[in-house]
Chain A
Amino acid sequence: MSDAASPPEAKSSPEPRSGSQAKPALTRRAFFKGAGVVAAGGVIGEAVSAANARAYGPATLEGTVEVELDINGAKQKVTLEPRTTLLNALRNHCNPPLTGTKLVCDRGSCGACTVHLDGRPVYSCMTLAVDTVGHKVKTIEGLSPRGELTVLQQKFCEHDGSQCGFCTPGFVMAITACLERNPAASLDEIQNACSGNLCRCGTQPQIFEAALAAGRALQAKGGK
């Protein structure tokens, strides 16, 4: 990716985990983000609302723009370019950065970047951030606002549903959407729901067990 407003990130190096909510002093990520914003600071356009379009011609976003995204239930103004993908916006333009959504293939093939758009799982790497204005985005960070594990995440732990763990957020988002629609989803339905997610460690059997167990637990709790 050659997105000037956001620094390229090493694809293969998962970031070190910061333990709690504590604010890190100066991380590599924070440094690059700061540098990026300064570099892009010149032109800040304004989104024209669709309602005005008829009178003034269609809304046009050019150069570097500020848009309001709705992420995990909170509206957030972010500065980016029309070409910035939702994945890039989440990881590099949001404050704080939402790095639970992973960058792997960047071509809509692996599912590591799966988020919910209006409740449906989508590839955030194949979505323009500006195209999500007016829609609700939910990331892995938004599943449990207070940091506790969801039923599905607990079952992933109990059933050993991850090895290196890099694909896990994507799988969790894909299966969460499936179980939200139907907690009684069959193995077939669960497999179909995450057929667009790859796990190179080969933990699929445990992931399916975890998903089925979560479905049973959710049904026992009456859906959610």
Chain B
Amino acid sequence: MKNFTYVMPTSLEQVVELLPGPRDLKTRDRVKVLAGGQDLLGELKEHLVEPEQVVNLKGVPGLADLRPQASGWQIGALVTLAALEENTSLRASHTMIAEAAGSVGSTQIRNQGTVGGNLCQRPRCWYYRHEQAVCIKKGGAECFAYGGLNKYNAILGGGPSYIVHPSDLAPALVAAGATALIRGKKGERTVELERFFTLPSEGAVTRENVLAPDEVLVRVDVPAMAGWKSTYVKFRERSSYDFALAAVAAALKLDGGKVTEARLVLGGVAPVPWRCEKAEKALVGRKLDAETCRVVGELALEGAEPLAHNAYKLPLAKGLIAKALTKLASA
């Protein structure tokens, strides 16, 4: 790890002052913000980033607040995954968010890892994580996963990069209709969390979200979900702890056994949390039986283009969707 200057600002004004300018795309990684550090320290140790300055956000008051509101929840960027997982009222109202938080990493990682860090973490693709592999994510010319070993890569939304977004919280928060509060040099802005994440074909291919070099994620606001039932179902190669091979965040409103509203977002299959709007529409008015699970699974994975080594993700994701819906039917 290269040495750096460590800065401990005590306000968001100071934080954004320390960040590069909004258009300093080439030099943006000279300054990195530190939250829980569970992703950043890995990047520093592998020399994927070598910042001159590391700006610790923990001195800024209020960023770790987790507040229930009449209109929903305000989740500060520095709220730990453990705090989300352990909050019993959040678990009751937004089950999928608590379940997703609890499925991240290990106990040790959840005790330090934060919501902001989980949403802004960099990809886990082994080509990206390899110091010597200058892939398209790191400004190189090609995605080595595309023609290489791509067991863990995208089956949906890929190209020109085929990473999958590694966050467990992202699908659950997108399914909950969350918005992201962002602070930059020019002030605050809010973005629907679904629009926060960018496909490599539409945003900068070396980034995974809309944050400009001068911006930092401050808070996530989650609307109330009265009358909804939700769950997060994740499949991992190692049961002790691991990133998702595929995952499903599902939320439903039911009336007399029939679905009246639905949200379905997949994790681990695309460069962004993958919203399945067609499948959501198809769910409305249906009973949660085997036929519904089959139809919804087909629609959710429509357009999937597996690479050489990841076609297993298709039946896996369909199976997880069926599992999630069946779980909600009996919840």
Contact = CB atoms under 8 A, between A and B. Distances in A.
Indicate, yes or no, whether A interacts with B. yes
Interface of A: 1-4, 50, 53-54, 57-63, 81-83, 85, 106-108, 111, 114, 117, 120-123, 125-128, 130-131, 174, 178, 191-197
Given A53-B14, A196-B108, 5 more contacts: A1-B1, A53-B10, A62-B6, A63-B3, A196-B109
Contacts of B44: 83
B42 A107 contact: yes
A50 B112 CA distance: 21
Q: Ordered nearest first, which 9 A-B pairs have the shortest CB separation?
A: A196-B106, A82-B6, A58-B9, A195-B240, A59-B8, A61-B6, A120-B111, A53-B10, A62-B5
B45 interface: yes
Contacts of A117: 111-112
A126 B42 contact: yes
Given A1-B1, A128-B37, A108 B109 contact: yes
A193 to B, nearest CB: 6
A50 B10 contact: yes
A82 B2 contact: no
Contact of A59 (B3, B7, B42, B105): B7
Given A50-B10, A53-B10, A196-B105, A83 B38 contact: no
B10 A58 contact: yes
Interface residues of B, number: 34
B42 A108 contact: yes
A95 B86 CA distance: 37
Contact of B4 (A50, A82, A122): A82
B10 A54 contact: yes
A83 B2 contact: yes
B59 interface: yes
B311 interface: no
Contacts of A53: 8-10, 14, 59
Contacts of A197: 106
Contacts of B241: 195-196
Contacts of B106: 111, 195-197
Contact of B8 (A4, A58, A174): A58
A61 B7 CA distance: 6
B56 to A, nearest CB: 6
Nearest to A106: B45
Contacts of B84: none
A174 B107 CA distance: 8
B248 interface: no
Given A1-B45, A106-B45, A108-B41, A193 B3 contact: no
B66 interface: no
Contacts of A107: 42, 45
Residue of B34, B107, B241 most packed against chain A (CB within 10 A):
B107
Interface in B24-82: 34, 37-38, 41-42, 44-45, 54, 56, 58-59, 82
